[in-house]
Structure 1
Amino acid sequence: MRKSNFVQLLACCLLVPLFLVGCSKNGQKITIVGSSALQPLIEQAGNDYHLAHLNSNIVVQGGGSGTGLSQVQAGAVEVGTSDVFAETQKGIDAQKLKDYPVAIVGIVPIANKAVGIKNLSKKQLADIFTGKIKNWHEVGGKNLPIIVINRSRGSGTRSTFEDLILNGKDAINSQEQDSNGSVKKIVNSTPGTISYISFPYANDQNIQKISINHVVPDNKNIPSNKWPLWSYEHMYTKGKPNKATAAFIDYVLSPKVQKEVVPKIGYLSINEMKVVRDSQNKVSKIRN
């Protein structure tokens, strides 16, 4: 090989990795942290978005709504996801955050199948989680001690459950888990257990979904508030988002995601609701 050709080849070989590194640096990293209830949707949307925008770099993590809100307020992440309104959380200045409601998620009480119960009244459910009812036979089930599994403090799912079912009262001290997935795994394998998870995680035939006042936990019952245990899923940014983050949020709110991805994973589009709920959990009908 002639020396000049060798030098040219060597130069090309050196330029290729430099070009690839340059491409990786051009992509704007978007870190999204918070609600485990919203995590499946954002992960799927992030994967789909990347296929259409190969230079994008979207990192999605859980940790709970409290973590998401505190992290985005501190400027540590581009987006904090939450099941609850930022203004309801201590230590969060909601005026500094921009709210993007992107979906509706249902929440369902679940129990180990061995308890022998498929329906509870709202009062019975509240009495179980506040410790007044301690055995399943008290509500028509098997003679088994009730084991309450709760979500960790800071969980938006827990806040919603306690506000809507316990009327703001705290549940009894019990084992706590920091994600929907870990709750489902424990309830599945431990006799006597009861807890609650978001609808997208409730697709396991080995757990018993509990109706409330004989209303079936189904997305069809949420838009009219017939099934009242639901919450908005929020994406929060600290002030106006940067261009890359704004583009991804626009994608999540696009008709493609709202009509196709949202229902496929188990959520409801915000466009389907016939009622609205404010930060104080007051519900009003949407005017046509």
Structure 2
Amino acid sequence: MTPENGWHIDLLGVAALVGGFPIEIVLALIGIVVPIIAFLWEFVFVGRKELGYRVQMDTPVTGEIESVFPGVLPQLRPEHDGVSPPLKDLSVVLVRIENSGATPIDTHDYQAPEAGRVGLHLNFPQRRVIGMAVTELSDPGLADSLDRDSGIAVREDTVGHIGAIDLPRVPLNRADHYKILAILQRSEGAGEYPAPVLRGGIKGGRIIETQSRTGISRVIVALVAFLVAVIVVQLVVSAVEPDPTPLDCAAGKLTLVGSSAFEPVIRDAAATYGKRCTGAEFAFGFEGTERGLDRLAEEGKADHDLLAISDGPKGDGYQPLLDRPLALSLFTVIVHKDVGITGLTVAQIQDLYQGRITNWRELGGPDLAVVLVNRIPGSGTRNTLERRVLGGPQPDRPHVSCVAIKDSLPPAAKYCDVQVTKDMQKAVSDIPGAIGYSEFSEAVKSGAKTLAIGGVTADRDAAVNRTYPFWGVEYAYSYGELPGDSLGASFLHFLTDLTGKDVLREHGNEPCGELPDRGRCLPTS
């Protein structure tokens, strides 16, 4: 079958084959389980009892063999009636026998007749043994198991042309070893000798040919290769499989209205949510707190996809609306650049907005008439100023448009009103002698000149510890309870408990859920 006919690996189909279970989890479980099984198999089940042997030398001897192992050969040279056989076509073999398992090997662990003393047979095909000696013991105590009375002996299978050394049942602790040195003579054949082989058995274990402990074992290489393959497959699956929709996302369209002071924050939060939850769509109508609450009160019963943002508590006139505290928000007093002062006391701000101070020279500034710029009644920012700084409402004044007076010098009136935050910032910037107020971070972005209050500059920490007075609480309002699976409920959860809190902080606000005194966010605070 060709690739065009479907002979390919469908990674998304693999996920379906596991019953919809996420394939990343399946691969992660495989990556954990397989090494554990390999470890248990190698070191607990199969390798728990393991006797290994290693041929460390198998060297043909030519010329003067006395120089190979000085002092050893006289011990190995067999004697029969004082006559030694001709020493030709010889080889010298050194075999290491060791406990390579995880547990000790005792005499009863050898699979051999209980009555006998022999436990193993070291065989040399096509060679006969003409001499042998034990040359190294890892523990001197092993000598008692390898002495002349232990059963160690040399013999030959003449039919099979196999020389053999019978080895006793030597008890070996973990990593114990001993070595056998043998002088061999060819009994059959030509060319290279077949490798020596250790014959016998271990109860509940095995006998294996080991290798030198240098480099990395093939088992480890295979295991690492397997784990690398698992990781590669995980990366491929992650690249091919589309990102799943987060469990706390919702689709639909949500309209957000209300406070113009908090508009930039909500717009940024909605953009962040939309990147994460692609099925969400947002519409905006920030024309001020009062207008937003009015719209929610009139349309919210029939439209659950509508939220209003307020710079403070809704008051008593909007009974069906439910509040969700979002954040402690920072506000500031702003002035025209020519006013020439850097700060005011709370009492001075109160005197200015009550009309008791009408010229900036009374406060150490230039001879310039004061022009009070206000948000229209019903503005959440205006209510916050009156509540937190002025200590009560301002005197009633007829409405005057700031646009209408900005080009008259001196201004025809000493006060004017604006609709939204950006109009406030523009009016204070355009009208000489003007003073107004704004959400702090947006005032800074607009380049407005901000004032310290009582010697304290606008700062989130200062507002949290109450040393800076001009702060408010931002609320989100819904008409009654929202359906749990609605976009409105999901977006509010995003703002109060998820990444949306980071957006609030980026704009200089402190999430209500992180305040030391969460009671600060209650509408009655």
1:193 aligns with 2:193: no
In structure 1, how many angstroms separate the alpha carbons of the residues matched to 2:433 and 2:336? 6
In structure 1, how many angstroms separate the alpha carbons of the residues matched to 2:396 and 2:437? 14
- Of 127, 132, 156, which aligns to 2:351? 127
In structure 1, how many angstroms separate the alpha carbons of the residues matched to 2:464 and 2:440? 14
> Which residue number corresponds to residue 308 of structure 2?
80
In structure 1, how many angstroms separate the alpha carbons of the residues matched to 2:278 and 2:444? 32
In structure 1, how many angstroms separate the alpha carbons of the residues matched to 2:455 and 2:516? 21
Q: Is the 8 A contact 1:111 1:192 kept in 2?
A: yes
Q: Which has the higher contact order (CA 8 A, sep 6+)?
A: 1
- Of 315, 318, 323, which aligns to 1:92? 318
**Cα distance, 1:206–1:35 mapped onto 2, change above 3 Å:** closer
Q: CA deviation at 1:194?
A: 0.3
Listed as ranges, the gaps of 5+ residues in structure 2 are 1-249, 398-414
Percentage of matched positions with identical amino acids: 28
Letter of the aligned partner of 2:488 in structure 1? T
**Cα distance, 1:234–1:151 mapped onto 2, change above 3 Å:** same
> Which residue number corresponds to residue 241 of structure 1?
482
> Which residue number corresponds to residue 104 of structure 1?
328
Q: CA deviation at 1:172?
A: 6.0
Deviations 1:194-243 (A, max 9, x none): 00001121214742211111111111201111112111110011111132
Q: CA deviation at 1:279?
A: 3.6
1:255 aligns with 2:498: yes
**Cα distance, 1:208–1:118 mapped onto 2, change above 3 Å:** same
- For the residue of structure 1 that corresponds to 2:338, the secondary structure is helix
Matches within 5 A, 1:57-206: 57-76=281-300, 78-86=306-314, 88-89=315-316, 91-93=317-319, 96-171=320-395, 173=397, 174-204=415-445, 206=447
What is the TM-score normalised by the length of structure 1?
0.81
Higher Rg of the two aligned structures: 2
In structure 1, how many angstroms separate the alpha carbons of the residues matched to 2:523 and 2:362? 35
Q: Is the 8 A contact 1:188 1:206 kept in 2?
A: no
Q: CA deviation at 1:274?
A: 3.3
Ranges of 4+ aligned residues in structure 1 off by more than 6 Å = none
Deviations 1:222-277 (A, max 9, x none): 1111112111110011111132210111111133221x211212222223433444
- For the residue of structure 1 that corresponds to 2:392, the secondary structure is coil
Deviations 1:46-96 (A, max 9, x none): 11111222221111221111112121122346111111112x25x321xx2
In structure 2, how many angstroms separate the alpha carbons of the residues matched to 1:221 and 1:52? 33
Deviations 1:160-185 (A, max 9, x none): 10122221121563311111111111
Q: Which moved more, 1:129-138 or 1:223-232?
A: 223-232
> Which residue number corresponds to residue 5 of structure 1?
none
Q: Is the 8 A contact 2:360 2:366 kept in 1?
A: yes
In structure 2, how many angstroms separate the alpha carbons of the residues matched to 1:172 and 1:53? 47
Letter of the aligned partner of 1:164 in structure 2? R
Q: CA deviation at 1:157?
A: 0.6
> Which residue number corresponds to residue 207 of structure 1?
448
- For the residue of structure 2 that corresponds to 1:32, the secondary structure is strand
Q: Is the 8 A contact 1:37 1:180 kept in 2?
A: yes
> In angstroms, what is the RMSD of aligned CA positions?
1.9
What is the TM-score normalised by the length of structure 2?
0.46
In structure 1, how many angstroms separate the alpha carbons of the residues matched to 2:493 and 2:447? 37
Q: Which moved more, 1:27-36 or 1:119-128?
A: 27-36
Letter of the aligned partner of 1:223 in structure 2? V
In structure 2, how many angstroms separate the alpha carbons of the residues matched to 1:238 and 1:274? 29
- For the residue of structure 2 that corresponds to 1:232, the secondary structure is strand
- For the residue of structure 1 that corresponds to 2:390, the secondary structure is coil
Letter of the aligned partner of 1:108 in structure 2? T
**Cα distance, 1:40–1:171 mapped onto 2, change above 3 Å:** farther
- For the residue of structure 1 that corresponds to 2:299, the secondary structure is coil
> Which residue number corresponds to residue 261 of structure 2?
37
> Which residue number corresponds to residue 4 of structure 1?
none
- For the residue of structure 2 that corresponds to 1:81, the secondary structure is strand
Listed as ranges, the gaps of 5+ residues in structure 1 are 1-25, 283-288
In structure 1, how many angstroms separate the alpha carbons of the residues matched to 2:356 and 2:496? 43
